Structure 1
Amino acid sequence: MNKLKILNDPIYGFITIPNSLIFDLIQHKYFQRLRRVTQMGLSYMVYPGAHHTRFHHAIGCVHLMQQAVKVLRFKGVNINNEEENALYIAILLHDIGHGPFSHAMEHSIVNNISHEEISLLFMERLNKEFNGSLTLAIEIFKGNYHRKFMYQLISGQFDMDRADYLKRDSFYTGVAEGHVNSERLITMLNAVDDKLVVEEKGIYSVEKFIIARRLMYWQVYLHKTGIVAEQLLIRVLKRAKELTLKGIKLEASLPLQYFLNHSISIDDFNNDILNLFSQLDDFDIISAMKAWQYHNDFVLSNICEMIINRNLLKIKIKNKPIKNQSLEKQILAFIQTHNISRAEAEYFVFSGSISNQAYQLKQQGINILHKSGKIEDIVKASDQLNLKALSKPVTKYYICYPKVKV
């Protein structure tokens, strides 16, 4: 069987699968599930084209990692075949632990377990199936490998993950401001003393990358309609769990029923639960909501109907925290209108905050390599833009409430 397949990607054109192990991992049912998990959650309610999946993204990341390895080797950085393969595996599987609709599930299906932790569990399970051939990839993924630039390629402020998702999300949403020249940036990469650096001539591309990230967060990832949709989705699952624990049986797929019936933490994730989690995808949630919109529970049916028919709550975003009296006014009005309890009303009227930090100064930054050999952070190296301002977190506050006059 020919395992060195070529895939046609709308962003990069033809992508080659580098070896048979990568092919076998892509073919595995755990990875194939990512075809059924959207990359951007419910953002397609704002940007109709944003139906691309975690599968698309992971394949794109492998392609960019191939480019990065080629560039670094050309510049004399020694990367042996085992390390090269480990980099491909680590970037291919970096998002394998995402649940349905990506981030929304981390707050509802499981208890405060990040997708990175679940990704690691999947990788360790696959490592047993593939006779230990993922061991080095896991060490790099965890940041334990002594060659730190390899971890930076997987998870850094300019890594193959961000290089792909900014370009891909920009393409599928049609938001041109997020477009980054990933290939140009990768061509400028080098490694000095096992640290990832960008050569001085790539400085303007790095500036563009940081600004594109900031714009994509405000315009796309933190778009107010997307925030409402995700918050409602979190509340659907919270309510479904609440009803299930009271003994009310809800129509749902077997894996979804299990997670509604049980409170799962990271310590509970044995092989059986991991298998059940691997059967969950966007379709479980959508089909459940289609059934639940007709349930006799006021909260569950109304929120499901809102999401299914995109009849969402109103949202206002402010620069200052929402005043309690504003929230209270909306809650009391909703209780009066529908004759429901305060606890039920709080599913429809709530406030929260969103934060955007385009560049994190205190973390491992993006280092610029000057021709003199001097290495400095992009914030100090940049002469055109006040990148320091972009390294400060910007927080905004929102209030959501039903579209009725109060």
Structure 2
Amino acid sequence: MTYKNEQLHEEKVFKDPVHAYVHVRDRVIWDLIATPEFQRLRRIKQLGTTNITFHGAEHSRFNHSLGVYEIVRRIIYNFQGRPHWNNDQRLLCMCAALLHDLGHGPFSHSFEKVFKLDHEYFTQQIILGDTYVNKVLERVSPGFAQEVADVIAKTHSDKLVVSLISSQIDADRMDYLLRDAYYTGVSYGHFDMERILRVMRPIEDQVVIKSSGMHAVEDYIMSRYQMYWQVYFHPVTRSAEVILTKILHRAKQLYESNYQFKLQPTHFLTFFSGDVSLEEYLKLDESVVHYYFQLWQEEEDEILRDLCERFMNRRLFKYVEFNPNKQIGDLMRLIQLFKDAGIDSDYYLVVDSSSDLPYDFYRPGEEEERLPIHLVMPNGTLKELSRHSDIVEAISGKKRTDHKLYFPKDMIYAIQDEEIKQDIIGILFSKERI
């Protein structure tokens, strides 16, 4: 028996609160889970700073990655013997599902924005580089690691395989909605995944849904919509992200100005200089970042010290609604008032915007083309979901954006100049905003 087909002597299981069990029979999958690169995901939270708002959200990218693998494993089981399904792609699908988030860094997207990084790039580097993961994949067959990387990069020639990992109804989204709902304790993200898995069908280049399963898919899309606005874009979570981002910006700025840190931020140096190696990237996880934030509460730089103390002790910025089209004059006035009060508006007055497109139909030639969800009608024809569902049609192609203005209320009320203080309060808390 080749390594590709080697099975464990007995099935291994991970007890999972979302899927009951995650089942592993393939030696390749078991060996990938045991690699240091995959184990590192235990130290990367799935939801970044969301645990500051929803205290149960302590789950990791490790949990989620196992969950995506389990969903794909079950989909493949259901596809056995169906037209268009090539079972030779079974292991490729499961490896891509397991490893799809391998390149996420600490606090994921916030971290990426500051240092101009791309977790998908690092996922591919881990899979293709001099790593334990690469050694396991190349044991399957020469070039297998490249195939897995191509699936994750959405460039693989088998579009059906790609759609299982990345589409508008894929294993990744299904797991994170259910998992994030479970750990945050909300009811919004729940939908009937069992039903969706039963009505999924493979065709030549994508997964489609039997028309009888349309209502389960409607529920899934609305669950996603609710989770984004009630959990992922929660304004308190965004306040923590704003402070996190400003800490990293401040530390980078201090480094560039030759500031002498009490403890040299060794793990950040190549991130500050923009020359990060794969080895250095893998060494930085959230436990290391928290260590520096803890120490930086005692730095001489007042801004870095204050921001770290706020983040570590949940002393967050307050926020008000902000309309960038109508209130830019207010913002400019606030920037000047902050300057007059001796408060650095670059770090203490922040506009944050969040937007989401819950479902989109195919728009050829546009950036980030989104393949729509298709229903298989009783006569065998395909029909795009929003043309058959009034609920989905109502939100199709509609991008919702929310803007908030964040600021430290305590610092404003501590301003000594009463006139400046009242001017700032008057702009931020005017009746028009409430």
TM-score, normalised with respect to structure 2 = 0.85
2:289 is matched with which residue?
285
1:158 is matched with which residue?
169
Compared CA separation, residues 230 and 160, structure 1 to 2 (3 A): same
Distance in 1, Cα, partners of 2:317 & 2:161: 44
Which residue identity does 1:379 align to in structure 2? S
SS for the counterpart of 1:6 is strand
Q: 1:49 aligns with which of 56, 67, 70?
A: 56
Q: Higher Cα Rg: structure 1 or 2?
A: 2
Between 1:123-132 and 1:19-28, the stretch displaced more is 123-132
The answer to whether residue 203 in structure 2 is matched with residue 199 in structure 1 is: no
1:328 is matched with which residue?
332
Which residue identity does 2:123 align to in structure 1? S
SS for the counterpart of 2:371 is coil
TM-score, normalised with respect to structure 1 = 0.91
Distance in 2, Cα, partners of 1:84 & 1:18: 13
Distance in 2, Cα, partners of 1:146 & 1:331: 52
SS for the counterpart of 1:55 is helix
Superposed CA offset, 1:246-277 (max 9, x none): 222333663223323x123xxxx6xxx10111
Q: 1:20 aligns with which of 15, 20, 27?
A: 27
SS for the counterpart of 2:25 is coil
SS for the counterpart of 2:347 is coil
Which residue identity does 2:23 align to in structure 1? T
Which residue identity does 1:399 align to in structure 2? L
Kept after mapping to 1: 8 A contact 2:218/2:392: no
1:184 is matched with which residue?
195
Q: Counterparts in 2 of 1:89-128, with a 5 A limit?
A: 89-108=95-114, 110-111=115-116, 113-125=117-129, 126=131, 128=134
Unaligned runs of 5+ in 2: 1-7, 364-369, 414-423, 425-434
The answer to whether residue 80 in structure 2 is matched with residue 68 in structure 1 is: no
Kept after mapping to 2: 8 A contact 1:368/1:376: yes
1:302 is matched with which residue?
306
The answer to whether residue 244 in structure 2 is matched with residue 256 in structure 1 is: no
Distance in 2, Cα, partners of 1:141 & 1:209: 23
Task: Tell me the CA shift for residue 220 of structure 1.
Answer: 0.5
Superposed CA offset, 1:271-299 (max 9, x none): xx101111111111111111112212121
Task: Tell me the CA shift for residue 376 of structure 1.
Answer: 1.4
Task: Tell me the CA shift for residue 177 of structure 1.
Answer: 1.2
The answer to whether residue 384 in structure 2 is matched with residue 377 in structure 1 is: yes
The answer to whether residue 231 in structure 2 is matched with residue 224 in structure 1 is: no
Which residue identity does 1:259 align to in structure 2? F
Kept after mapping to 2: 8 A contact 1:210/1:359: yes
Between 1:48-57 and 1:175-184, the stretch displaced more is 175-184
Task: Tell me the CA shift for residue 320 of structure 1.
Answer: 5.6
Distance in 1, Cα, partners of 2:374 & 2:392: 16
Which residue identity does 1:80 align to in structure 2? N
2:418 is matched with which residue?
none
> What percentage of aligned pairs have identical amino acids?
28
Distance in 2, Cα, partners of 1:321 & 1:164: 37
Kept after mapping to 2: 8 A contact 1:190/1:198: yes
Q: 2:256 aligns with which of 231, 235, 245?
A: 245
Q: 1:276 aligns with which of 261, 264, 280?
A: 280
SS for the counterpart of 2:375 is strand
The answer to whether residue 223 in structure 2 is matched with residue 212 in structure 1 is: yes
Distance in 2, Cα, partners of 1:207 & 1:236: 40
SS for the counterpart of 2:352 is strand
Task: Tell me the CA shift for residue 229 of structure 1.
Answer: 0.9
2:397 is matched with which residue?
391
Distance in 2, Cα, partners of 1:301 & 1:123: 38
Task: Tell me the CA shift for residue 96 of structure 1.
Answer: 0.7
Task: Tell me the CA shift for residue 74 of structure 1.
Answer: 4.7
Distance in 2, Cα, partners of 1:185 & 1:386: 16
Distance in 2, Cα, partners of 1:150 & 1:252: 46
Task: Tell me the CA shift for residue 77 of structure 1.
Answer: 4.1
Compared CA separation, residues 200 and 211, structure 1 to 2 (3 A): same
Superposed CA offset, 1:224-245 (max 9, x none): 1111111211111111011012
Which residue identity does 2:351 align to in structure 1? S
The count of residues paired between Structure 1 and Structure 2 equals 390
1:346 is matched with which residue?
346
Which residue identity does 1:235 align to in structure 2? K
Kept after mapping to 2: 8 A contact 1:350/1:401: yes
Task: Tell me the CA shift for residue 345 of structure 1.
Answer: 2.5
Between 1:195-204 and 1:140-149, the stretch displaced more is 140-149
Between 1:214-223 and 1:346-355, the stretch displaced more is 346-355
The answer to whether residue 160 in structure 2 is matched with residue 149 in structure 1 is: yes
The answer to whether residue 326 in structure 2 is matched with residue 314 in structure 1 is: no
Distance in 2, Cα, partners of 1:321 & 1:25: 50
Task: Tell me the CA shift for residue 76 of structure 1.
Answer: 4.0
Task: Tell me the CA shift for residue 107 of structure 1.
Answer: 1.2
Superposed CA offset, 1:328-381 (max 9, x none): 3433343343x35xxx32211021322121012231011111111110111012
Kept after mapping to 2: 8 A contact 1:77/1:191: yes
Which residue identity does 1:124 align to in structure 2? L
SS for the counterpart of 2:122 is helix
Distance in 1, Cα, partners of 2:169 & 2:202: 13
Q: 2:145 aligns with which of 111, 134, 154?
A: 134
Compared CA separation, residues 56 and 135, structure 1 to 2 (3 A): same
Unaligned runs of 5+ in 1: none
Kept after mapping to 2: 8 A contact 1:203/1:368: yes
Distance in 1, Cα, partners of 2:404 & 2:10: 50
Compared CA separation, residues 145 and 40, structure 1 to 2 (3 A): same
Distance in 2, Cα, partners of 1:14 & 1:323: 51
Between 1:54-63 and 1:244-253, the stretch displaced more is 244-253
